[in-house]
Amino acid sequence: MNGQSTGAAAAAPGGRDERGTMSQTTLQAALARAEAEGRAALIGYLPAGFPDVPSSTRVVEAMVQGGCDVVEVGLPYSDPTMDGPTIQRAADTALVAGTVPSDVLRVVEAAAATGAAAVVMTYWNPVERYGPARFCADLAAAGGAGVITPDLIPEEAEEWFEATDAAGLDRVFLVAPSSGDERLRLTAQASRGFVYAASLMGVTGTRSQVSGTAEKLVARTRTAIGDSGLRVCVGLGISNRAQAAEVAAYADGVIAGAGFCQRMLDAPDVETGLGAVRSFAEELAQGVRDGRRGGG
């Protein structure tokens, strides 16, 4: 999957060379770069269109300036079953502002332009309405590297496999503490880029401590992955440097979302919010470095 072209014309990231070999996506490259630096990757989430479309592009830029290696651009959805109140408020703001999939692609393009890897986090229903093949083609054209689909399971994803393969996109599925060994195996086989390990049962949102089940889930997922080289990133509940360091000690990536949204929600104006987002990213970026060297 990660082979580079040796022919006359190399494939674009995520595409295929003349032999049909997948080239490395920008997501895979970002995760590999973090590993080479002896740390976990920092992955930040923000719904597109929050607080409005132009401002959301500035927010993702601030996230990258602060140290995010990967940006998850959320596609706002009216029935976000996995999202807690903070992200729901942010997504509702985006929906009220009239954010549509084309706006999401604009934010992806802005995120990719920073040099970070850009992926979309979306529930399946909006993708199905848009058309999976069209969605993947348009996302790839915007510079996107992959898609996280929290409510799609591999057994129901045959059309998705075809669409993501055709566009050269990574596809990220979720596992949870309740996932059995067979579920972990199926998810590992279906995923590309990384497996998203939800650190606890429940919805997104910052918490005072990371669930104790997260490390065990990562270990079980790695057993299911075997020697494929697929990475495991942990999300749901990361809210400060110490938690980022704790998770970075055993995971390949640390995912934070509600903390970024909360700082924009709390800010009296966009400029203040951008500064708070940048500072929060800097804090977490230090945390992912702490995790592999035993503290701050």
In-domain check, residue 1: no
Residue 34 has pLDDT above 80, yes or no: yes
Greater pLDDT, 78 or 282: 282
Give residue-wise pLDDT tens across range 185-243. 999 999 999 999 997 543 344 444 455 789 999 999 999 999 999 999 999 779 999 99
**Beta carbons within 8 Å of 224's beta carbon, 6+ residues apart:** 181, 184, 185, 187, 188
- What tens digit of pLDDT does each residue of 61-86 get? 999 999 999 999 999 988 766 777 89
How far, rounded to the nearest angstrom, does the alpha carbon of residue 282 sit from its chain's CA centroid?
18
What tens digit of pLDDT does each residue of 243-279 get? 999 999 999 999 999 999 999 999 999 999 999 999 9
Q: Is 50 exceeded by the pLDDT of residue 41?
A: yes
Q: Is the pLDDT of residue 8 over 70?
A: no
Position 23 scores a pLDDT of: 81
Residues 165-173 have a mean pLDDT of: 98
Residue range of the domain that includes 189: 40-290
**For residue 18, is it within any domain?**
no
When the pLDDT of each residue in the chain is averaged and rounded to a whole number, the result is 88
Q: State the distance between the two ends of the chain, measured CA to CA, in whole angstroms.
A: 36
With respect to residue 2, please indicate whether it lies within any of the assigned structural domains.
Answer: no
- pLDDT of 202 reads 39
- Alpha carbons 94 and 203: distance in angstroms, whole number: 19
Can you give the pTM of this predicted structure?
A: 0.89
> Which one of 72, 138, 215, 252 is the catalytic residue?
72
Instruction: Calculate mean pLDDT across residues 4-16.
Output: 35
List the catalytic residue out of 83, 103, 252, 283.
Answer: 83
* Amino acid sitting at position 121: M
In a domain, 9, yes or no: no
Catalytic residue list contains 266: no
Question: Which of 30, 128, 113, 15 is closest to 75 using CA atoms?
Answer: 128
Mean pLDDT of 272-287: 98
CB 221 within 8 A of CB 186: no
Q: Is residue 28 part of a domain?
A: no
SS3 87: helix
DSSP 157: -
Whats the size of the chain, residue-wise?
A: 296
Active site residue 72: yes
pLDDT at 280: 98
CA–CA separation, 50 and 46 (whole Å):
7
CATH number of 51's domain: 3.20.20.70
**In-domain check, residue 23:** no
215 within domain boundaries = yes
pLDDT score recorded for residue 211: 52
Cα–Cα distance measured from residue 212 to residue 269, given in angstroms and rounded to the nearest whole number: 37
CB contact at 8 A, 22 and 3: yes
In a domain, 7, yes or no: no
Closest CA to 17 of 4, 1, 2: 4
Query: Would you put residue 205 in left (φ > 0), alpha (ψ -120 to 50) or beta?
Result: left
3-state helix, strand, coil in the chain (%, to 5): 50, 15, 40
- Count of domains observed in the chain: 1
Q: What is the rounded CA–CA span in Å between residue 213 and residue 228?
A: 24
Question: Which position has the token pair 């000690």?
Answer: 249
